[in-house]
Structure 1
Amino acid sequence: MKIVISIGDCNGVGLEILLANHKRVSKLCTPLYCAEEALLKEAARKLKIKYPKSLKCIAPNAKIPPIKPAKICAESGAYSYESFLTALDWTLQGKTKALVTLPIHKKAWQLAGIPYAGHTEAMRALLKPQQNPAIMVLGSPKLYVALFTDHIPLKCVAQSIDAQSLKNFLLSLAPHITKAPCGVLGLNPHAGDFGVLGDEEEAITQAIKEANNALKQRLFVGPLVPDTAFVGKHLRYYVAMYHDQGLIPLKTLYFKESINLTLNLPIIRTSVDHGTAFDIAYQHKADSTSYLNAVREAVFRVKIQEGKTIKK
Structure 2
Amino acid sequence: MVKVGISLGDPSGISPEILVKSLNKLPKSNAYIIYGGKKVLDKTAKNLGLNVNFTVIKSPEEVKKPGYYLINIFDEDFQPASPSVLSGKASVIFLESAVEDVLNKKTDAIVTLPISKRWIMEAGFKYAGHTDYLAEVSQAKEYVMVLMCKKLKVGLITTHIPLKDVPKSITTQKIISKVKLINKELKEKFAIEKPKIAIVGLNPHASDNSNIGDEEERIIIPAVNQLLNEGVDITYPLSADTAFNRYKEFDFYVAMYHDQGLIPLKLMCFRKAVNITFGLKFIRTSPDHGTGYDIAGKNVADPSSFIEAVKLAVKLAYNTQNKNRLQNV
Question: TM-score, length-normalised on structure 1?
Answer: 0.91
Within 5 Å, give how 1:108-187 maps onto structure 2: 108-129=119-140, 132-177=141-186, 178=192, 180-187=195-202
The residue aligned with 2:78 is 67
More helix by percentage: 2
For the pair 1:79 / 2:90, whether they are aligned, the reply is yes
Query: Could you tell me how far apart the structure 2 residues matched to 1:28 and 1:247 are?
Result: 33
Query: Could you tell me how far apart the structure 2 residues matched to 1:6 and 1:69 are?
Result: 17
Residue 113 of structure 1 and its aligned partner are, at CA, apart by 2.1
Residue 153 of structure 1 and its aligned partner are, at CA, apart by 2.1
The residue aligned with 2:294 is 279
Q: What letter corresponds to residue 9 of structure 1 in structure 2?
A: D
Q: What letter corresponds to residue 147 of structure 1 in structure 2?
A: L
CA contact (8 A) 2:34 2:71 kept: yes
Residue 236 of structure 1 and its aligned partner are, at CA, apart by 3.2
The residue aligned with 2:225 is 209
Which moved further from structure 2: 84-93 or 103-112?
103-112
Residue 125 of structure 1 and its aligned partner are, at CA, apart by 2.1
Local SS of the residue matching 1:33: strand
For the pair 1:107 / 2:115, whether they are aligned, the reply is no
Local SS of the residue matching 1:4: strand
The residue aligned with 2:61 is none
CA contact (8 A) 2:181 2:278 kept: no
Q: What letter corresponds to residue 50 of structure 1 in structure 2?
A: N
Residue 237 of structure 1 and its aligned partner are, at CA, apart by 1.0
Q: What letter corresponds to residue 206 of structure 1 in structure 2?
A: P
Residue 196 of structure 1 and its aligned partner are, at CA, apart by 2.1
Tell me: CA distance 1:134–1:233, structure 2 relative to 1, closer, same or farther (3 Å).
closer
Query: Could you tell me how far apart the structure 2 residues matched to 1:166 and 1:21 are?
Result: 37
Local SS of the residue matching 1:20: helix
Residue 47 of structure 1 and its aligned partner are, at CA, apart by 4.1
Residue 89 of structure 1 and its aligned partner are, at CA, apart by 0.5
Residue 93 of structure 1 and its aligned partner are, at CA, apart by 0.9
Local SS of the residue matching 2:210: coil
Query: Could you tell me how far apart the structure 1 residues matched to 2:22 and 2:216 are?
Result: 45
Residue 97 of structure 1 and its aligned partner are, at CA, apart by 0.9
Query: Could you tell me how far apart the structure 2 residues matched to 1:125 and 1:176 are?
Result: 19
Tell me: CA distance 1:33–1:69, structure 2 relative to 1, closer, same or farther (3 Å).
same
Query: Could you tell me how far apart the structure 2 residues matched to 1:253 and 1:26 are?
Result: 25
Runs of 5+ in structure 2 lacking a partner? Answer: 56-67, 187-191, 325-329
Q: Deviations over 1:238-292 (max 9, x none)?
A: 0011111100000010111110111111111111111112222121111121111
Question: TM-score, length-normalised on structure 2?
Answer: 0.86
The residue aligned with 1:4 is 5
From 211, 220, 229, the counterpart of 2:243: 229
Tell me: CA distance 1:152–1:88, structure 2 relative to 1, closer, same or farther (3 Å).
same
Q: Deviations over 1:203-231 (max 9, x none)?
A: 1111111111112x5x1112110111112
Q: What letter corresponds to residue 167 of structure 2 in structure 1?
A: A
The share of aligned pairs that are identical, in percent, is: 37
Query: Could you tell me how far apart the structure 2 residues matched to 1:158 and 1:16 are?
Result: 40
The residue aligned with 1:242 is 257
Residue 118 of structure 1 and its aligned partner are, at CA, apart by 1.1
Residue 96 of structure 1 and its aligned partner are, at CA, apart by 0.8
User: How many pairs does the alignment contain?
Assistant: 303
The residue aligned with 2:30 is 29
